[in-house]
Structure 1
């Protein structure tokens, strides 16, 4: 007599309806955040060549983007500014008339509480040398002098209406500096999203085009080393101690192990950023006909979710929200 298997895990995989019912992880539009690049001095969207389907947007288009995002039901938008002029100390970041602060004000008015308006708090888009902080006499990034500017930038963004500040500069003490400044000014409700485990990565390449980065060299002296996992967990715990409301791992796909470890120990929500290079790889591979685009997108996002991210910044946020709304299988 043939010995048939007693356990048959395949029973739970036999059709799409059953697979959906027993899925351990899923996605919802509310878990997705759309990064948006707002460029000063343009009057129409400008496509980013390395990121098919993604553009720099004019200030006048921000309200329409917010409407699209709200209609899609996504959790928020993360705004990045691309200024016309830059200087050594990133003056445009702290000026109320700077492109990012103006974009935040437009988005906050249009959102009217329907989704979160988030802003990138860093100097790299605003400095003529492209680093995330101001430089010391020897050319290194001056951590503590940068914190003073971050605190002023936090106040400017909060005054403009940002509800969540994405602290992405990887300066030691940035969470404490911004929290102290915000609370002293009465902005106690502004949420701090700490890019805690932000790695020095080749996967940021297309983003450099998106923000027209002027960086020469690299950011290895302040962003994390790709070889280190425990360090990412330590950074997250330090940021939580300093008052971070949410912690982030970035990039997402190459650092799923770090994401899982941070999620296992964090007392606050954990997010991940599916960065420009992750996006570009799938788009270009799909255009070459070597992968199924939609399945690859869905699988990549489910992998990030499975590793422990409670929300994901992704350039596919609007498209994927539509798939979810239509009941499409994501992988």
Structure 2
């Protein structure tokens, strides 16, 4: 009789497949993004991101209750201020929109892990992630503003600081600033490997953060580079990062795997707005099964090595994992 391996033996039934499944997505793995805006009575859908809304603080309660009831344990908060200026002062204002949102969330749902996105692009009138002089984003002057932002967010009650600006030395500066302000226990979730990607388009609509001139290629990474990403991650580890992140996700799963092979810190992948929008558009046209393709994508992130997934699909994934529709 012809002898060969019969790998299909373990695929024969659903029960067998479940027994030997290597990677699993859990609700606890998910981090859900929230967009908060100034004003009252606002729940405005982002046109390019069906199902994702900008909320004024008085409309945030129902969304938070749904998140908690679904078992999602963490949110990441992005803010859109009423006024912007050259130095992004509302990013580090004690009564800034994100700071007020954090206080509100922690007052009502103290068990919810609140991650604060720490950047300036939503708050600057030029849309860049730092101080601009002579048309160029200056690294070191930007660090002091980012430190002020991180400290103000921690003071408001943020559980995790997530700097996304890609300035050199941002982890070291923020770690020192948090420690000196007495926040030694607040961890840093570093956007360690963040590419200058076209997948961010819908987010820039949601966060109203598109650059008013040029682009972000002088500080975000070249999509062609992988070894550079390892250097970025290694620098952040040396400077005191507690989590590492790869952003975007789908086109950069090789980087998720490379970081998982190299570093032992918890690894986060950001399933970004363009990835979300493409699935939503295809599903709306009946071209893909939304539930199946999203769950397959989540498993792909886990298989590549991610521990945590920031995703706009989080509420739907939680429902599907619970057996709902």
| Interval of TM-score (by shorter of Structure 1 and Structure 2) | over 0.9
CA contact (8 A) 1:67 1:110 kept: no
Q: Find the residue that maps to 1:172 and give its secondary structure.
A: coil
Q: Find the residue that maps to 1:191 and give its secondary structure.
A: coil
Query: What per-residue deviation string (whole Å, max 9, x for no partner) do you get for residues 93-139 of structure 1?
Result: 11111111111111111221x22111100000000000001112x11
Q: Distance between the aligned counterparts of 1:263 and 1:110, measured in 2? A: 35
* Matching of residue 183 in structure 1 with residue 179 in structure 2: yes
Aligned pair partner of 2:29 in 10, 28, 31: 31
* Matching of residue 145 in structure 1 with residue 141 in structure 2: yes
Q: Distance between the aligned counterparts of 2:137 and 2:249, measured in 1? A: 26
| 1:221 paired residue number | 218
| 1:233 paired residue number | 230
Residue 11 of structure 1: CA displacement?
Answer: 1.4
Query: What per-residue deviation string (whole Å, max 9, x for no partner) do you get for residues 7-46 of structure 1?
Result: 2111111222221221110100000000110111241310
CA distance change for structure 1 residues 142 and 327 in 2, over 3 Å: closer, same or farther? same
Q: Distance between the aligned counterparts of 1:224 and 1:214, measured in 2? A: 17
CA contact (8 A) 2:194 2:246 kept: yes
Residue 205 of structure 1: CA displacement?
Answer: 0.3
Q: Distance between the aligned counterparts of 1:15 and 1:4, measured in 2? A: 24
Structure 1 unaligned spans of 5+: none
Residue 270 of structure 1: CA displacement?
Answer: 0.6
Residue 70 of structure 1: CA displacement?
Answer: 1.9
* Matching of residue 101 in structure 1 with residue 95 in structure 2: no
| 2:208 paired residue number | 212
Task: Please tell me the root mean square deviation across aligned C-alpha atoms, in Å.
Answer: 1.3
* Matching of residue 268 in structure 1 with residue 265 in structure 2: yes
Q: Distance between the aligned counterparts of 2:209 and 2:121, measured in 1? A: 7
Residue 67 of structure 1: CA displacement?
Answer: 2.3
Q: Distance between the aligned counterparts of 1:115 and 1:11, measured in 2? A: 43
Residue 64 of structure 1: CA displacement?
Answer: 3.1
Runs of 4+ in 1 over 3 A off after TM superposition: 3-6
* Matching of residue 248 in structure 1 with residue 245 in structure 2: yes
TM-score by length of 1: 0.95
Q: Find the residue that maps to 2:306 and give its secondary structure.
A: coil
CA contact (8 A) 1:48 1:209 kept: yes
